[in-house]
């Protein structure tokens, strides 16, 4: 895999991969576990990220990151994961993730992210009746009238404030 990157002229090191399970939540399938094993063979710190775009509505992104549990360490009774204080940041895993081997074959890593105002608005637009509703523009004359009214209202407020 690294040879292919070098052929394209990309000197960066691979740190992980991502994919989606639309409508099915965030977990790793058997194929995903095999893919993650090949990434972890390249780099011990490789991460698998899974996104569910269907469940990512109403402004909440459904995303999770995973690393594999080394079965050799489990046999020896050693904890393969490094633990830190994640109190308040842990999320309850879905039953589907547990069925597919969460905490047996792989573990979840806490993710923290921020959204700016435009990104938040974009996510809220996804929840409209049709996905196109967030992309449709208002009628220009109507939009222009609304802008004029808003400006007049602000002007009136400014005049009243100065009195």
Query: How does pLDDT run across 103-146, given as a tens digit for each residue?
Result: 667 888 878 778 888 887 877 776 666 666 667 777 889 989 99
Helix (H, G, I), strand (E, B) or coil at 73: helix
Query: What is the enclosing helix (H) or strand (E) of 66?
Result: strand 63-68
> Where do the structural domains in the chain lie, given as residue ranges?
1-109, 117-162
Query: How does pLDDT run across 62-73, given as a tens digit for each residue?
Result: 888 888 887 766
Domain at 1-109: CATH code:
3.40.140.10
Q: Which of 45, 105, 110, 114 is nearest to 84 (CA)?
A: 110
Spatial contact of 27 and 96, defined as CB atoms under 8 Å apart = yes
Give 61's pLDDT tier (boundaries 50, 70, 90).
confident
Q: Strand 63-68 vs strand 47-51: parallel, antiparallel, or unpaired?
A: antiparallel
Q: How far apart are CA 103 and CA 97, in angstroms?
A: 9
Q: Strand 106-109 vs strand 63-68: parallel, antiparallel, or unpaired?
A: antiparallel
Predicted model pTM: 0.58
What does pLDDT average to over the chain? 78
């Amino acid at each position: 895999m690294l040879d292919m990157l070098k052929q394209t002229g990309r000197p960066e090191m691979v740190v992980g991969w991502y994919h989606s399970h639309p409508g099915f939540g965030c977990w790793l399938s058997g194929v995903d576990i095999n893919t993650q094993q090949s990434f972890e063979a390249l780099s011990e710190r490789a991460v698998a990220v899974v996104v569910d775009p269907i469940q990512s509505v109403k402004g909440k992104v459904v995303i999770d990151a995973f690393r594999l549990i080394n079965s050799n360490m489990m046999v020896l009774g050693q904890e393969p994961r490094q633990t830190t204080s994640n109190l308040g940041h842990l999320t309850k895993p879905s039953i589907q993730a547990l069925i597919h081997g969460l905490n047996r074959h792989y573990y979840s890593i806490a993710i923290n992210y921020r959204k700016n105002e435009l990104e938040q608005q974009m996510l809220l637009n996804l929840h409209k009746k049709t996905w196109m509703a967030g992309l449709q523009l208002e009628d220009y004359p109507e939009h222009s009238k609304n802008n004029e009214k808003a400006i007049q209202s602000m002007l009136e407020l400014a005049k009243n404030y100065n009195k």
